[in-house]
Amino acid sequence: MISDLTDQKIKFLEEKSNKARELVIEMLLQAGSGHSAGPLGMADIFTTLYFHAMNHMPQNPEWEERDRLILSNGHICPIRYTVMALAGYFPIDELKTLRKFGSRLQGHPHRTALPGLETTSGPLGEGLSQAAGMAIARDLDNKKYNIYTIVSDGEFEEGNSWEAMMFIGKNKFQNFIIIMDRNNIQIDGRTEDIMPLEPLVDKCKAFGLHVIEIDGNNIREINDAIMEAKAVTEKSTIIIANTIPGKGVDFMEGNYLWHGKPPNQEEAKNALQQLKTLGNKIEHSDI
């Protein structure tokens, strides 16, 4: 069961998160294609989910009572693959096969290819509706597991996301937590330039959801938001997580051009040097 975090556990999660970012850079370089900004920005959230918040069993991925994690914005799957490997779902060396022919780790998650994935994702905007369907099935079966759905802010420029929000608001699902990666970018530029989403908090409240806004790169805030969401029983919750795309790599941070491209050899070397320096700081920091 999720609990408050000790300073020691926060340091552990920060170290795992930074290691995940290093592995993302390495696997994207190896693949020669893929998305950089989103995976780096979401490392802290995925690490907190897999190593603290979620009830799951890597050695028994189909355990019936497991929490469900639906990834709607499937293009950020490198961070999910990486954290899953670190958690023990499959060998870390397999990360090198990202986007290779015959690999279980495709550029968008394929549910039947890799144990531990709940859905196949690619077309944006579908994840919330899929999660809502799972919530209906869960409640009909009188189960109590949590359903977490990761969504991007960019896909909320699509109408089907808001149709799902209407349905979720109406049904007031318990133990149903949406986490939005509010990184303010999409493939064509800044979200507020392409199709403005603000006032986003007010819109989500108007659809009948409990809304929490956090720093999505602060592990304590991530954990506190999940604990608050689980304590709310009268409606579903959306956590708007303000993240820095490309987090940890200075030439990627906040730059929408890194939404959908991998680093080359020189860029990867630079990125890994920065992340290793950050990792050393975390390791030797006081707690």
235 CB-contact burial (10 Å; exposed 0-12 / middle 13-18 / buried 19+): middle
Q: Which residue segments constitute the domains of the chain, with CATH numbers given?
A: 7-283 (3.40.50.970)
pLDDT, tens only, 139-171:
999 999 999 999 999 999 999 999 999 999 999
Beta strand spans in the chain (E): 68-71, 147-152, 176-182, 185-186, 189-190, 210-215, 237-242
Q: Tell me the pLDDT tens digit for each residue of 200-243.
A: 999 999 999 999 999 999 999 999 999 999 999 999 999 999 99
Mean pLDDT of the chain: 96
CB count within 10 Å of CB 158 equals 14
| The token pair that represents 22 in the structure block | 């290093």
The stretch 85-111 carries a mean pLDDT of: 97
Of 220, 218, 213, 219, the residue nearest 238 (C-alpha): 213
Distance from C-alpha of 252 to C-alpha of 256, rounded to nearest angstrom = 8
Residue range 23-41: average pLDDT? 98
Euclidean distance between CA atoms 259 and 34, whole angstroms: 9
Q: What are the C-alpha distances in Å from 180 to residues 75, 79, 166, 273?
A: 14, 15, 16, 29
**Rounded CA gap, 253 and 259, in Å?**
10
Q: Where are the alpha helices (DSSP H) in 32-180?
A: 37-41, 43-48, 77-87, 127-140, 159-171
Q: Does residue 182 surpass a pLDDT of 90? A: yes
Q: Average of pLDDT values for 75-99?
A: 98
Res 287: pLDDT? 67
User: How far, in Å, CA of 128 to CA of 94, rounded?
Assistant: 29
Please tell me the predicted confidence (pLDDT) of residue 1: 52
Name the band, by pLDDT with cuts 50, 70 and 90, for residue 285: confident
Q: How many CB atoms neighbour CB 227 within 10 A? A: 14
